[in-house]
């Protein structure tokens, strides 16, 4: 007989792993990725590969040569951070800026806190916001959606729907165009349809629950709806417009639902989503930035530990007797 293993129960494991969860999210992002390639062409391809590769390389170098430990790049989290970072960038962003973004995302937002599981803020969003503040001009020049655009750095640019709204200087795209993604914006944020397909996939695979995305979208819808009803002249666009534009879909489904930086139980998640929704609406409607989702998510990330402490899951035996 072989040597016997003695360890406490349970003696079986689900087989789940960090990689499997990252892989599910990457698969869920495929429709949006294809939409990005369709509308933004070569630029989308270049920045996504640059971001993914540089994130993985930076994580490897930091773990092996700075921390001098073992590397965890095979768990797929750096790869996913790179992919999500590129989704939040305009597709004509120069390669060197993308690489700086990756370095900030992985090096500062993730590794300096202790690696996966220890970061308080969403790494991809930290990278993106850093780039927005450091390179405002490049980060707000949005390529016009041209099917399979072969141009990269010299892509023709146009304003995003939210910028149009702020500046009120041209036609807002039709709702159908907004839904499919035929508008200016970050590489991965434009197609609500593609992102929603990804959402359904994640729900089926039980990778995320519905609480955060639905509470964000519902909050934004309701509050922009109230504003629209109260003063149709000042708040001229419908709540549906708000749902389909900017990075809201991408943020609600893929960025706010990041495991590490979001609350740990359903009630906490609803509060988290509500906060993100409110802050997004305030920035969009009353702030000077056309878009506010990234800031909203980062601000609520800061509240996550507090939410986890104050909001506990429902305990067994708390419910009243039947």
Alpha carbons 105 and 222: distance in angstroms, whole number:
33
Q: Does 312 bind other proteins (CB under 8 A)?
A: yes
Q: Does 141 bind other proteins (CB under 8 A)?
A: no
Can you name the residues that pair with 157 across neighbouring β-strands?
143
Cβ closer to other proteins: 9 or 288? 9
CB 212 to other proteins: min, Å: 11
Alpha carbons 63 and 44: distance in angstroms, whole number:
29
Q: Does 313 bind other proteins (CB under 8 A)?
A: yes
**Of 250, 41, 259, residue with least CA distance to 154:** 41
- φ, ψ for residue 143 (rounded to 5)? -65, 145
Which of 108, 265, 278, 285 is the binder for other proteins (CB under 8 A)?
265
Residue 210 CA: distances (Å) to CA of 18, 63, 308: 20, 34, 18
Which of 72, 138, 140, 177 is the binder for other proteins (CB under 8 A)?
72
CB 20 to other proteins: min, Å: 7
Cβ closer to other proteins: 12 or 230? 12
Cβ closer to other proteins: 275 or 292? 275
Q: Does 7 bind other proteins (CB under 8 A)?
A: yes
Q: Does 11 bind other proteins (CB under 8 A)?
A: yes
- 255: Cα separation from own chain's centroid: 3
| Residue environment code for 88-126, b if the CB has 16+ CB neighbours within 10 A, otherwise e | bbbbbbeeebbbbbbbbbbbbbbbeeebbeebebbbbbb
**Of 195, 152, 156, 248, residue with least CA distance to 34:** 195
Site for other proteins in 99-118 (CB under 8 A): 114-118
Cβ closer to other proteins: 21 or 50? 21
Q: Does 186 bind other proteins (CB under 8 A)?
A: no
Which stretches of 37-139 are assigned E, i.e. beta strand? none
Cβ closer to other proteins: 21 or 182? 21
CB 75 to other proteins: min, Å: 7
Residues that bind other proteins (CB under 8 A): 1-2, 4-14, 16-18, 20-21, 72, 75, 77, 114-118, 209, 259-260, 262, 264-265, 312-319, 321-322
């Amino acid at each position: 007989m072989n040597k016997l293993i003695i360890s406490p129960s349970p003696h079986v494991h689900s087989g789940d792993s960090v990689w499997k969860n990252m892989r599910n999210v990457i698969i869920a992002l495929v429709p949006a990725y294809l939409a990005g390639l369709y509308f933004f062409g070569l630029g989308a391809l270049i920045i996504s590969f640059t971001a993914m590769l540089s994130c993985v390389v930076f994580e490897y170098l930091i773990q092996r040569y700075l921390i001098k430990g073992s590397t965890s790049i095979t768990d797929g989290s750096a790869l996913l951070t790179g992919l999500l970072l590129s989704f939040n960038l305009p597709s004509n962003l120069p390669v060197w800026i993308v690489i700086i973004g990756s370095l900030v995302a992985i090096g500062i937002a993730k590794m300096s806190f202790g690696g996966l599981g220890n970061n308080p803020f969403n790494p991809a969003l930290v990278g993106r916001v850093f780039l927005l503040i450091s390179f405002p001009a490049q980060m707000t020049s949005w390529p016009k959606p041209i099917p399979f655009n072969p141009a990269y750095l010299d892509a023709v640019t146009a304003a995003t729907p939210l910028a149009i709204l702020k500046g009120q200087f041209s036609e807002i795209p039709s709702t159908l165009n907004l839904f499919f993604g035929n508008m200016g914006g970050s590489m991965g944020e434009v197609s609500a349809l593609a992102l929603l397909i990804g959402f359904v996939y994640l729900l089926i695979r039980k990778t995320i629950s519905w609480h955060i995305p639905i509470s964000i979208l519902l909050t934004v819808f309701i509050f922009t709806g109230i504003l629209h009803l109260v003063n149709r002249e000042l708040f001229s666009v419908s709540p549906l417009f708000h749902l389909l534009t900017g990075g809201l879909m991408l943020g609600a489904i893929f960025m706010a639902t990041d495991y590490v930086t979001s609350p740990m139980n359903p009630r906490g998640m609803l509060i988290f989503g509500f906060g993100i929704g409110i802050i997004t609406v305030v920035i969009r409607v009353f702030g000077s930035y056309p878009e506010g989702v990234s800031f909203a998510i980062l601000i609520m990330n800061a509240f996550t530990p507090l939410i986890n402490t104050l909001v506990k899951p429902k305990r067994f035996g708390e419910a009243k007797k039947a």
